[in-house]
Amino acid sequence: MNQPLILIIEDEESLRRFLVPTLSGQRYQVLSAATAAEGLAMARSHNPDLVLLDLGLPDRDGMAVLKELRTWSRKPVVILSARNQERDKVRALDQGADDYLAKPFGAAELLARIRVALRHILQADLADPVVHGGGIRIDLEQREVRLEGRPVKLTGLEYRLLEALVRRNGKVATHSQLLSEVWGPGGEGNTHYLRIYMAMLRKKLEADPTRPRHFITEPSVGYRLNLDARED
């Protein structure tokens, strides 16, 4: 199998010195750029399978790089964001970034996010309508949900929210993405609906709804569904 090519666009040299060997040590080919201009040129010439994109670049805003990438590429973009860039992070996700890593992050977290983002392109259209993990089984074709083999009854909105998360395939979904997908274009201001319906999904599908393993809150960003979490 050929090795996926990852392009890192990050001006912080110390971070590149961590990222390049960490990724090369796995099964990835790695390219890195320190400026937006260099990064965009490399993206065009090498068409990487995934881009790790810093939002704070010296020559152009990372958001502008994302917009330009998205004019010709649907490949996954994972944002590298500093703690004070909460709003930019959400904007980047709403504008087509696939996921984000908040600095500082460790190697395990980095590699997990990359695996999820790359898995997403392999299963872009969810060829298999059945997903399962952690005792939960969701059949998108039959619209059937089971927990430990037993059918779970969901309301229409609960199911739509679950489906929107499943289709993200482990990636984060922002509040506004979920609200518009589940409640329609008019629903984007109603963040409290999400909290209510997420609580109902957790109650029905988590072993301990107060310590969710699968329906993960990403503070001030949104939610992700992690079916790989192990039960213990």
Question: Per-residue x/- marks for Ca ion, 8-37, CB under 5 A?
Answer: ---x--------------------------
| Residue closer to Ca ion (CB basis): 2 or 14 | 14
| Residue closer to Ca ion (CB basis): 10 or 158 | 10
Distance (Å, rounded) from C-alpha 4 to C-alpha 108? 18
Query: No. of H helices and E strands in the chain?
Result: 8, 12
What backbone phi and psi angles, to 5 degrees, belong to 218? Answer: -105, 105
| Residue closer to Ca ion (CB basis): 54 or 98 | 54
Give min distance, CB of 44 to Ca ion, in A.
21
CA torsion angle 13 14 15 19 (round to 10): 100
| Residue closer to Ca ion (CB basis): 55 or 93 | 55
| Residue closer to Ca ion (CB basis): 6 or 34 | 34
Copy the structure tokens of residue 126. Answer: 């969810």
Site for Ca ion in 49-108 (CB under 5 A): 54, 56
Do the beta carbons of residue 57 and residue 36 sit within 8 Å? Answer: yes
Residue nearest to Ca ion (CB): 56
Give min distance, CB of 7 to Ca ion, in A.
15
Give min distance, CB of 57 to Ca ion, in A.
6
Give the 3-state secondary structure percentages of the chain, helix then strand then coil, rounded to 5. 40, 20, 35
Distance (Å, rounded) from C-alpha 57 to C-alpha 98? 19
- Which stretch, 6-14, 33-41, 88-96, 221-229, contacts Ca ion (CB under 5 A)? 6-14
Site for Ca ion in 132-191 (CB under 5 A): none
- How many residues contact Ca ion, by CB under 5 A? 3
From residue 101, how far is each of 56, 133, 137, 151, 219 by CA, in Å?
14, 24, 28, 35, 13
Give min distance, CB of 52 to Ca ion, in A.
12
| Residue closer to Ca ion (CB basis): 14 or 210 | 14
Beta bridge mates, 100: 79
Give min distance, CB of 129 to Ca ion, in A.
41
Give min distance, CB of 79 to Ca ion, in A.
11
Q: Which residues of 53-66 are buried (b: 16+ CB within 10 A; e: fewer)?
A: bbbebeeeebbebb
Q: What is the binding site for Ca ion (CB under 5 A)?
A: 11, 54, 56
